[in-house]
Amino acid sequence: MPPDGWRERAQLAVAQGQKIDERTPGILLDSPVSRLGYWYACAVGWTWGTIWSTGQVQKRGDLWVFRGLPRWAFPRGGVCVGHCYLTGNAPVTPRVLRHEAIHVRQWRRYGFLMPMLSALSGRDPLRNRFEIEAGLEDGNYVPRGME
């Protein structure tokens, strides 16, 4: 069960993220520059996934899903790098795919800024604007019906 007040903190995190976006030069967001960063991230994701994946690699919508990675090779239940979803052996449900597809769009928007902005948002998914925007329920961070 999430802690009391998590919704308010989540809304604040998203609002703070929007302020950062407003102050970010437009050339860096949804631009050729961000696309370059996105494609670089895709190359990194493909490389990491190819090296460590022991499971089936599947194209699911905009995502390439690399399964069977060792637990140390990805954070939480999995990680989206560009258009690559790197994960272990847990089931990849339609909800998780929907969540990760939003991360793909975030990578396209922010490109090279994505790792830094995500790190600044913190590891707590209930306060991380990118996880909140991707859907906390679909990302399995809060129980269904809580968001």
How do the pLDDT tens digits run along the chain, 147 residues long?
Answer: 788 888 999 999 999 999 999 999 999 999 999 999 999 999 999 999 999 999 989 999 999 999 999 999 998 899 999 999 999 999 999 999 999 999 999 999 999 999 999 999 999 999 999 999 999 999 999 988 777
Residue 128 lies in a domain: yes
Residue 37 lies in a domain: yes
Residue 90 lies in a domain: yes
The residue range of the domain holding 24 is 6-134
pTM equals 0.94
Number of domains in the chain: 1
Residue 146 lies in a domain: no
Exposure of 83 in the CB half-sphere (CA atoms within 13 A): 11
Residue 52 lies in a domain: yes
How far, in Å, CA of 146 to CA of 74, rounded?
Answer: 26
Residue 103 lies in a domain: yes
Residue 141 lies in a domain: no
Residue 122 lies in a domain: yes
How far, in Å, CA of 124 to CA of 30, rounded?
Answer: 26
93: Cβ contacts below 8 Å, ≥ 6 apart? none
